Amino acid sequence: MEKVDVALISIQFGAEKMDVTAIHHYLSEESYWARGISLEKVKMSIENAFCAGAFYQEKQVGFVRAVTDYATFAWISDVYILEEFAGAGIGKKMLSEFFAQEWFGELRRIMLATKDAHSLYEQFNFTELDKPEMIMQVLNDKFVLL
C-alpha cells in the first residue's frame, strides 16, 4: 500500500466513535501487550477512558486511550497505528491532537509503557522515569484482597 497523505486522516474523540470490533481485533491478535484480551474487556476499557481514533475513509487505522482523573494523572494505553498505515505520520498527528486537549496541560503526571516507540513519545516530552525505585506494581495473579 502507498503511504496515505496524513491530511486525509481525521482524528475523532469519544468512546461512541470508536470501532470496538477493529480495536479488539488489533489488541487481541496483533499487539504484544494485550494478545488474547476479550471483547468485553476491550469494550469496558474504552467506555472507561478518554479515547481517540485515527480514521481514513471511515476505517479506524489508529487508537489511543488515557485512563485518567482529568485533574492530576493519566496513563496512556493501547496506542497503535495499523501496520499498513505506519510511517506516514498518522501516529504523531493522532497523539498531537490527543495531547492538545486543554486538561492534559493541567495534569501533574502522564505515564505510559512502550517496548518500541520511545522516539515517538520523546517528541511529546516523555522521558524515562526519574525515580523508578518509587514505582511499584501488582500483577493480577499476585493481587491479594484483604
pLDDT tens digits, one per residue of 78-109? 999 999 999 999 999 999 999 999 999 999 99
Name the residue type at position 13.
Answer: F
What 3-state DSSP class applies to 39? helix
DSSP letter for each residue of 24-88 = HHIIIII-SSSTT--HHHHHHHHHTSEEEEEEETTEEEEEEEEEE-SSSEEEEEEEEE-GGGTTS
What global pTM score does this model have? Answer: 0.92
CATH of the domain at 82: 3.40.630.30
Flag whether 32 is in a domain: yes
* pLDDT tens profile 11-42: 999 999 999 999 999 999 999 999 999 999 99
Q: CA torsion 42→98→128→36, rounded to 10°?
A: 10
Tell me if 24 is assigned to some domain. Answer: yes
Percent of the chain with pLDDT over 90: 88
Amino acid identity for residue 9 in this structure:
I
Total domains in the chain come to 1
| Residue 2, pLDDT score | 66
Query: 28: which DSSP letter?
Result: I
Q: State yes or no: pLDDT of 56 exceeds 70.
A: yes
pLDDT, position 145: 61
* Residue at 1 is within a domain: no
State residue 23's pLDDT score.
98
pLDDT greater than 90 at residue 142? no
Range of the domain at 137: 6-142
Please say if the pLDDT value at position 126 is more than 90: yes
Closest Cα to residue 135, out of 103, 105, 109?
109
